[in-house]
Amino acid sequence: MIRTENLVKSFNDRTVLNNITTVFEQGKTNLIIGQSGSGKTVLLKSLVGLHPIDSGSIYYDDVCFSSLGFKEMKDIRQHIGMIFQGGALLDSSTVEDNVKLPLDLFTNQSEEEKLERVNFCLNRVELLNSNKRYPAEISGGMVKRVAIARAIVLNPKYLFCDEPNSGLDPVTSCVIDNLIKEITQEYQITTIINTHDMNSVMEIGDKIVYIHQGNKWWEGSNDDILRSDNKELNEFVFASAMAKRAKLATL
């Protein structure tokens, strides 16, 4: 479980996140949605400590993450998996080495054990026969999947995904969504996903936090979302034709 209390983050006097208080539960896929520029990425990066926050606190289970020193933060980070908006694979390493890196750094497994684990994770994201290729040689969707494999290779307790399926075709998007949901339940991970894909919201949104101009505007489950009467949320949700039809169907 990850909890924030009155989290405030600003860049040079411009407040990007304003008093965010919410809870992301374990074993659930928690979604952060909002328009482009609303502060989703900043929120995610603040949660993992890549952006120092101005005030408020962040708790990982019972540990106050936001008051930890560099060293203790590093210890917690070994339990964090993160998928960046652009994949962020190391350009100079092959797919296999990218996924293996956390194992190299933080385990004492033998080379065979490590390779077995790497292949298991690559299998999980349905990526076979690309082990020896470099990030520049695989497609955008494959990069995302390698990033997922890397994020789960150490069995994280917390998983952060910044738009894991943006720019992917609908089929691959669904595969990735379902994969994330599956491993979240299977390993009881606290998963937090940034998205503006309404399809993901309806499919895997156990809990949804809607951010509007840096404020938490609404939160609830994907069942609640269609019935909400929040004006901005409705404008956001029903901007897409498909969601509009879904709404009509529920009426």
Partner 1 sequence: MRFFEFLGKYYILMTKVFSRPEKIKIYRKRILFEMEALGFNSIGIAAIISVFMGAVVTLQMSINLESPFIPQVLIGYATREVMIMEFSSTVVALILAGKVGSNIASEIGTMRITEQIDALEIMGVNSAGYLILPKIIATVLFFPFLTVLSIGIGCAGGYFVSILTGIMNPDTYIDGLKMDFKPFSITYSLIKTAVFAAIITSISGFYGYYAKGNSLEVGKASTKAVVVSSITILIFNLIITQLILIG
Ligand X SMILES: Nc1ncnc2c1ncn2[C@@H]1O[C@H](COP(=O)(O)OP(=O)(O)OP(=O)(O)O)[C@@H](O)[C@H]1O
Write out the residues near ligand X by the rule CB under 6 A: 11, 16, 34, 36-42, 196
Residue 32 vs 183, nearer CB to Mg ion: 32
CA atoms within 13 Å, Cβ hemisphere of 87: 22
Q: Quick check: 41 binds Mg ion (CB under 5 A)?
A: yes
Exactly one of 105, 128, 136, 171 binds partner 1 (CB under 8 A); that residue is 105
Find which of ligand X, Mg ion, partner 1, none residue 174 binds, CB within 5 to 8 Å per kind.
Answer: none
Quote the CA–CA distance of 100 and 91 in Å, as a whole number.
14
Say what the alpha-carbon torsion angle 89, 31, 169, 45 is, to the nearest 10 degrees. Answer: -20
Find which of partner 1, Mg ion, ligand X, none residue 34 binds, CB within 5 to 8 Å per kind.
Answer: ligand X
Q: Which segments of 124-214 are extended strands (E)? A: 158-162, 190-195, 207-212
Quote the CA–CA distance of 131 and 176 in Å, as a whole number.
19
Q: Quick check: 11 binds partner 1 (CB under 8 A)?
A: no
Per-residue tokens: 213? 């101009």
- The conformational region for residue 77 under phi > 0 = left, psi -120 to 50 = alpha, else beta, is alpha
Exactly one of 21, 64, 106, 245 binds partner 1 (CB under 8 A); that residue is 106
Residue 165 vs 222, nearer CB to partner 1: 165
Per-residue tokens: 221? 């489950």
Smallest gap from Cβ 33 to ligand X, in A, equals 9
Smallest gap from Cβ 162 to Mg ion, in A, equals 6
Residue 157 vs 196, nearer CB to ligand X: 196
Quote the CA–CA distance of 194 and 44 in Å, as a whole number.
8
Question: In the block, which residue shows the tokens 């039809």?
Answer: 245
Q: Quick check: 101 binds partner 1 (CB under 8 A)?
A: yes
Give the contacts of 112 (CB within 8 A, at least 6 positions apart).
none
The 66-95 contact track toward partner 1, x by CB under 8 A, reads --------xx-xx-x-x-xxx-xxxxx---
Q: What is the bridge-based pairing of β-strands 29-33 and 207-212?
A: parallel
Q: Are 201 and 170 in contact (CB under 8 A)?
A: no
Q: Quick check: 165 binds Mg ion (CB under 5 A)?
A: no
Find which of partner 1, Mg ion, ligand X, none residue 42 binds, CB within 5 to 8 Å per kind.
Answer: ligand X
Query: Residues interacting with Mg ion, by CB under 5 A?
Result: 41
Query: Residues interacting with partner 1, by CB under 8 A?
Result: 45, 48, 50, 74-75, 77-78, 80, 82, 84-86, 88-92, 101-102, 104-106
